[in-house]
């Protein structure tokens, strides 16, 4: 998947507006957070499903970058003082610590707009089709909006420092984390003009690995060392916040991760192509140590 | 234009997700600011250009509501403490004073997503075409993003409490205010599948009335009474901020508003239909007292 990461990162910078303008600081702030990327999980999923559906790689590029821009905007806004108030993100000062809260807020806003702009450019349309670009915009917008990612963040806020029941935790994680991963999987299929049955299978895979990812996060929060995790372990417990581990215990959580990973892999049976990379990716997420 | 206002407001609420969900507070917060709408200038422009280009009114509805959602999200974020820190908006407490900064931030984010979602629904596509919906998304996203509205806000922040030269003020107002008005005019034409020549003329009209609108704002800030304006007059002057009036004087500003209004009306000559309503609207904006 290293090639996909390189391709994503080059395309992300190419999509950014030129720095030679009065609002240079805004563009720098957008670039700063795009550069501070992690594993590029979501773009990788777009490219992988595009390949699995025999799509043209070029058609996946704008959708892959769009999902990453949405993910990046959500991290910038998440770190703001009125939200999680995090000074650091992936070992670097958060966007607002470098550019100020006002510019950070606006950089997030502009990244969201840019995501939808690049998905509907003449070039994007010529590489898939206007119908595919519309479907991709509609899918991504729905999954990242009020009934998706942002809705999940609000459920998180409402249940802060509260012991929430499992069904609330499940809905929160589904919306906060799994929705954007689902979107990435679906967009990969859409970029290859795949049919609805395949899109649905990709969506199922995305949902399963998305929820498994979140449960694994909760497990690592209690089993990992600070050094392995790159952030203080046990931070969930300090906030009296419900986690999968606090509600179900570690053993049950490990079983759940394994079950969901199997379910994700089974969903891939709908595809004719080689699903090895996506099976390995599901296993990798389930066994990760940070 | 009263019918258009009613149609816009009904459609705005219909597009909102159901309140019967865990993230109810988010939906209420989005609704609160959509309801606190002003003159619905932008949706009116979408509908008016749709009519002028002999489009189907139904095809204009999602685009009109999308522009209003983008405008509303920008007002919510503008009022936040890290931006203008305004407690009141149109005579009501600002969104974050009612729902908290975190929910207000997220309501703005979700409104932006919803704008692009409704422009690409199956219904929107069936009323115009996938090509038109893509073009509309691309246009709106570009005008509201880093090189448009958000870029203008950053130029504003950079020049806060500074005496900026006229060219900076012009670019700032063009981006901050005129771009979204241009977008509304263009989207009206796009919803009617009008050709590029007509879209360009609509864009010219939008740009002229957008800039005239801003200059008129600066004039009213020094000539109006508090009561007429609904906010303290002279507030621009207190901040040592450049305005058209401080740079050019009132008489020159009045000339500019008249010139731009004429130019806007001349741009309408490209259309075959009845342009009376749009000419009257340009005159109304130029002569408004608040």
pLDDT at B250 over 70: yes
Portion of chain B with pLDDT greater than 90, in percent:
86
Which residue, among B13, B24, B26, B75, would best test binding to A if mutated, counting the most A CBs under 10 Å from its CB? B26
- DSSP secondary structure string for all residues of chain A: -HHHHHHHHHHHHHHSPPS-STTHHHHHHHHHHHHT--S-HHHHHHHHHHHHTT--HHHHHHHHHHHHHHHHHHHHHHHSTTTT--SEETTEE-HHHHH-HHHHHHHHHHHHHHHHHHTTSHHHHHHS-HHHHHHHHHHHHHHHSTTTHHHHHHHHHHTTTS---HHHHHHHHIIIIIHHHHHHHHHHHHHTT--HHHHHHHHHHHHHHHHHHHHHHHHHHHHS-HHHHTS-TTHHHHTT---HHHHH-HHHHHHHHHHHHHHHHHHGGG-SS--HHHHHHHHHHHH---
Tokens of B74: 């920008």
Residue B235 reports pLDDT greater than 80: no
Statement: residue B38 has pLDDT above 90: no
pLDDT (mean) for B130-153: 98
Q: What is the pLDDT of residues A207-237, one digit of tens each?
A: 999 999 999 999 998 987 655 655 555 665 5
DSSP classification of residue B174? I
- Is B62 within 8 Å of chain A by CB? no
- Environment class of B97 (CB within 10 Å of its CB; exposed 0-12, middle 13-18, buried 19+): middle
Contact predicate A36/B182, CB 8 Å = no
Q: Where are the domains of chain B?
A: 2-287
How far, in Å, CA of B66 to CA of B145, rounded? 14
Tens digit of pLDDT for each residue in A261-288?
Answer: 999 999 999 999 999 999 999 999 999 8
Which of A215, A200, A193 is closest to A261 using CA atoms? A215
Q: What is the pLDDT of residues A166-175, one digit of tens each?
A: 999 999 999 9
For residue B264 the two structure tokens come to 């806007």
Suggest the residue from B150, B158, B196 to mutate for an interface test with chain A (most A CBs closer than 10 A). Answer: B150
Half-sphere exposure of residue A84: CA atoms within 13 angstroms, side-chain side: 17
The percent of residues in chain B predicted with pLDDT above 70, rounded, is 94
B97-102: average pLDDT: 98
CA B77/CA A104 separation, integer angstroms: 12
d(CA A279, CA A268): 8
| pLDDT in the model for residue A2 | 74
- What is the pLDDT at residue A161? 82
Judge whether B48 and B278 are in contact, CB under 8 Å. yes
Q: Which of B12, B33, B112, B159 to mutate to test the interface with A (most CBs of A within 10 A)?
A: B112
CA dist., res. A269 & res. A252, Å (int): 26
Q: Which of A109, A121, A134 sits opposite B112 (nearest CB)?
A: A109
Average pLDDT, integer, range A144-159 = 97
User: Rounded to whole angstroms, what are the CA distances from A267 to A52, B90, B276?
Assistant: 13, 51, 59
CB contact under 8 A, A153 and B106: yes
CA atoms within 13 A on the CB side of B275: 15
Q: What is the ipTM of this complex?
A: 0.96
Q: Which residue of B lies nearest to A77 if distances are taken between CA atoms? A: B105
- Mean pLDDT across B54-63: 97
Scanning B143-202 for CB atoms below 8 A from A yields 144-148, 150-155, 157-158, 168, 171, 175
CATH of span B2-287: 1.10.600.10
Which of A73, A100, A145 shows the shortest C-beta gap to B110?
A145
Assess A26–B contact: CB distance below 8 Å, yes or no.
yes
Mean pLDDT of B183-197: 98
Is A106–B141 a contact, with Cβ atoms under 8 angstroms apart?
A: no
Mean pLDDT of chain A, nearest integer: 94
């Amino acid at each position: 998947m290293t090639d996909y990461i390189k391709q994503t990162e080059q395309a992300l910078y190419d999509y950014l507006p030129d720095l030679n303008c009065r609002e240079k600081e805004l563009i720098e702030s957008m670039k700063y957070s795009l550069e501070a990327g992690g594993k590029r999980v979501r773009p990788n999923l777009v490219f992988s499903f595009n390949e699995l559906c025999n799509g043209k790689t070029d058609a996946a590029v704008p959708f892959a970058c769009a999902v990453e821009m949405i993910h990046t905007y959500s991290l910038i806004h998440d770190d703001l003082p009125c939200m999680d108030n995090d000074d650091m993100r992936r070992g670097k000062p958060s966007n607002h610590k470098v550019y100020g809260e006002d510019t950070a807020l606006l950089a997030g806003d502009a990244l969201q707009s840019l995501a939808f702009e690049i998905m509907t450019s003449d070039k994007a349309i010529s590489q898939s089709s206007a119908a595919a670009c519309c479907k991709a915009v509609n899918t991504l917008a729905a999954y990242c909006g009020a009934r998706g990612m942002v809705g999940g963040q609000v459920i998180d806020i409402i249940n802060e420092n509260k012991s929430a029941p499992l069904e609330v935790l499940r809905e929160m994680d589904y919306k906060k984390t799994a929705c954007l991963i689902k979107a990435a999987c679906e967009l990969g299929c859409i970029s290859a003009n795949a049919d609805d049955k395949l899109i649905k299978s990709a969506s199922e895979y995305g949902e399963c690995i998305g929820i498994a990812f979140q449960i694994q996060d909760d497990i690592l929060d209690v089993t990992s060392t600070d050094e392995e995790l790159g952030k203080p372990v046990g931070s969930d417990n300090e906030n009296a916040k419900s986690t999968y581990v606090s509600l179900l215990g570690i053993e049950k959580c490990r079983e759940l991760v394994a079950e969901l990973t199997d379910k994700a892999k089974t969903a891939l049976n709908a595809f004719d192509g080689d699903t090895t990379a996506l099976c390995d990716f599901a296993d990798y997420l389930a066994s990760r140590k940070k």
